[in-house]
Structure 1
Amino acid sequence: MLAHLSMAASAALALIATNLDNLAVMVGLLLTAPRTRVLGGFGAAQVLVLGGALAVAEGVETAIPGWTGYLGIIPLGLGLWGVWGQWHADENADQPADLKRGTFLACFVLFASLSTDSFAAFAPLLADSQPAFRVSALFGAGVAALTLGFVGVRLVENAREGSPLVKKLERFGPYAMIAVGLYVLANSGTDTLV
């Protein structure tokens, strides 16, 4: 039971860390667009990302079972790329984007495009896990997605200007991806290489 709770908590933290950019965009959109469109688009994007990650994980398990641990290279590489990008960021890069009012489909596409890091983190994590632990991970990720939606609504209600804290927390996303990549590499048949 403790192992399942740990997996759920780890997946929740991974989803939150890789979706802080989505949270920042959500806050901006909630200031200008109807709440149902924004939250519906965010929720649908998370279902697509987690469902796609699960499909990839189950496909990889049957196609190349001995090599699933090497999928950890993907989030590790993307995380390192994100850290490198933070170190070399232009001073103008942290200017807030001008967010326009959008439809459900526009919100969905925007959130889905910002969730590629979540997909890159969850596909190897789920592929390297036993089916029972996949359920725990998906449960934890689902709770985290609901929590992010709630936090986004509360941030808008408490401060219509948004929160500078979200922008600062967003910098932790690449580090979470590095941690997931190292976990997958170290907790599989590839652990002799790391």
Structure 2
Amino acid sequence: MHDALTVVKKTAPVMAVAQFTSLDHAKACAELFAEAAVPAVEITLRHPDAWQMVKLCKDLMPNALIGVGTVLNRRQMLRAVDEADFVISPGFSRELSMLAHKTLTTYIPGVATATEIMAAMAEEHRVFKMYPAAAIGGVALLKSLSGPFPDAVFCPTGGISEANYQEYLALPCVSCVGGSWIVPSEAALQKDRAGYLSMLKRLYQRGT
């Protein structure tokens, strides 16, 4: 099991945040990601078939880390322990943190305030998903928080796009960003698969 810092470093510069619309969509994206050597995918639990999508990506992307996002409760965490490489939640939960420590699961909690960072650090977390990043202050907030929390490492997610992700990556406290823009829709994939493949290869080979 990788620790959280290893996960975000391996994932850099962008963690693909996938909200697949169907199993066919998940399969097509997983095949694309495997070909482009995408290092990690966070699959959100917002679809009835999300767990099948996790398995599908694990099968089709053997060299990548497959994580589960939008984990909100004990039941989801315990299932993720067996079926995913890492777990991300939109906020911080002491119960989820305790479960992660107990099961040696890689857990990246979400934070939005200094209070939440302090609570998570008290449970020995140092790597955080900053969510929803753009809506709560974006780059300016991260700059402010890096002062009192010099050891914190962030993967900001939410409202980040191809137009602004470099601004986040320029911050020393940001290891990677979470981005849904690198996950093509079914229609986009059918229209320009080669274009997405080229973009993904440039993104991960260049490292910025």
Q: TM-score, normalised to structure 1's length?
A: 0.28
Hey, which of these two has a bigger chunk of strand by percent? 2
Higher relative contact order (CA 8 A, sep 6+): 1
* Structure ID, larger Rg: 1
Hey, which of these two has a bigger chunk of helix by percent? 1
